[in-house]
């Protein structure tokens, strides 16, 4: 059994990628944590790290990879990977669902190349040509924000209670997201790779109340049931 201290406060939700190599956790921070899972250690069980015998450290199955900043400042309610692990959804208690994209290996390589170019330009500005030292892209460490990048934000008509991804992708590559709102509505949004803002596809107004039910009353003949909430009864 391995226990990992992930956040300064309570962890509200987590999810694991389809290949079971990445774990994402969310708490009360304005960021979520990304962890890597070592399946070799998981298969062998707990054992001493041979590379550091002097300190007798145990090989860990879950290693901290980094943090990714969120737009929302409130606690995380739900974290969920898309079934193919190409997208990650993060929901807080407000009226939005933040969608993040998981970069491919080629995209990460290009990003590191651009970072190398910026470092070279900065070094040229800050020091003489003779003192310039080459920066090797392969030696640059991949950060969590290199792998997971903000993509789109779904803004709903009410506070989000929960959400889920559709397992079926449209022909144009767009992905649908179902949101359940606290005002008893269901909304379906389309996240399109070519659009900046997600579009609302469907909206279903469910029967019932828009707020908590305060009381119930059954008629004497058991044929009618009356329910009442704030400013409304059915």
Measured between alpha carbons, how far is 169 from 25 in angstroms, rounded to an integer?
26
Kindly indicate the confidence band of residue 55, based on its pLDDT and cuts at 50, 70 and 90: low
For the chain, domains (ranges, CATH) are 13-103+145-233 (2.130.10.10)
Measured between alpha carbons, how far is 9 from 27 in angstroms, rounded to an integer?
7
> What per-residue confidence (pLDDT) applies to 44?
77
Measured between alpha carbons, how far is 90 from 26 in angstroms, rounded to an integer?
9
Q: What share of the chain has pLDDT > 90, as a percent?
A: 41
**159 token code pair:** 């506070």
Mean pLDDT of 31-36: 94
Q: Would the pLDDT of 96 be above 80? A: yes
Average pLDDT of the chain, as a whole number: 84
Measured between alpha carbons, how far is 73 from 67 in angstroms, rounded to an integer?
14
> What per-residue confidence (pLDDT) applies to 137?
43
> What per-residue confidence (pLDDT) applies to 78?
96
Kindly indicate the confidence band of residue 217, based on its pLDDT and cuts at 50, 70 and 90: confident
Q: Show Cβ contacts of residue 92 under 8 Å, excluding neighbours closer than 6 positions.
A: 70, 72, 74, 75, 76, 77, 98, 160
**What is the chain's alpha carbon radius of gyration, rounded to the nearest angstrom?**
24
pTM for the structure as a whole = 0.78
Higher confidence at residue 231 or residue 223? 223
> What per-residue confidence (pLDDT) applies to 211?
72
DSSP 53-87: GGGTPBPPSEEEEEEEE-S--S---EEEE-TTSSE
Burial of 67 (0-12, 13-18, 19+ CB in 10 A): middle
**69 token code pair:** 């900043």
Q: Would the pLDDT of 209 be above 60? A: yes
Beta-bridge mates of residue 215: 228
> What per-residue confidence (pLDDT) applies to 48?
62
Residues 94-112, buried b or exposed e (16+ Cβ, 10 A)? bebbbbbbbbeeeeeeebb
Kindly indicate the confidence band of residue 135, based on its pLDDT and cuts at 50, 70 and 90: very low
Q: Are 99 and 191 in contact (CB under 8 A)?
A: yes
Each residue of 150-188: pLDDT tens digit?
999 999 999 999 999 998 888 778 899 999 998 888 999
**Considering only CA atoms, which of 138, 132, 87, 148 is closest in space to residue 115?**
138
Measured between alpha carbons, how far is 26 from 13 in angstroms, rounded to an integer?
6
């Amino acid at each position: 059994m391995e226990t990992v201290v992930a956040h300064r406060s309570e962890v509200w939700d987590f999810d694991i990628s389809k290949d079971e190599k990445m774990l994402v956790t969310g708490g009360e921070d304005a960021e979520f944590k990304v962890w890597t899972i070592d399946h070799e250690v998981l298969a062998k069980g707990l054992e001493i790290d041979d590379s550091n015998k002097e300190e007798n450290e145990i090989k860990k199955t879950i290693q901290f990879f980094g943090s990714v900043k969120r737009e929302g400042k409130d606690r995380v309610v739900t974290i969920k990977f898309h079934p193919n692990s190409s997208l990650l959804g993060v929901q807080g208690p407000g009226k939005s669902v933040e969608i993040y994209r998981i970069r491919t290996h080629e995209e990460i390589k290009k990003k590191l190349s651009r970072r190398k170019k910026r470092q070279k330009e900065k070094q040229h500005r800050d020091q003489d040509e003779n003192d310039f030292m080459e920066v090797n892209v392969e030696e640059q460490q991949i950060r969590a924000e290199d792998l997971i990048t903000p993509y789109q934000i779904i803004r709903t008509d009410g506070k989000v209670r929960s959400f889920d991804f559709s397992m079926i992708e449209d022909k144009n590559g767009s992905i649908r997201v179902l949101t359940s709102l606290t005002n008893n509505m269901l909304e379906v949004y389309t996240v399109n790779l070519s659009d900046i803002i997600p579009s609302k596809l469907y909206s279903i107004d469910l029967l019932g109340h828009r707020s908590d039910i305060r009381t119930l009353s059954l008629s004497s003949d058991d044929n009618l049931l009356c329910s009442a909430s704030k400013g409304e009864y059915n």
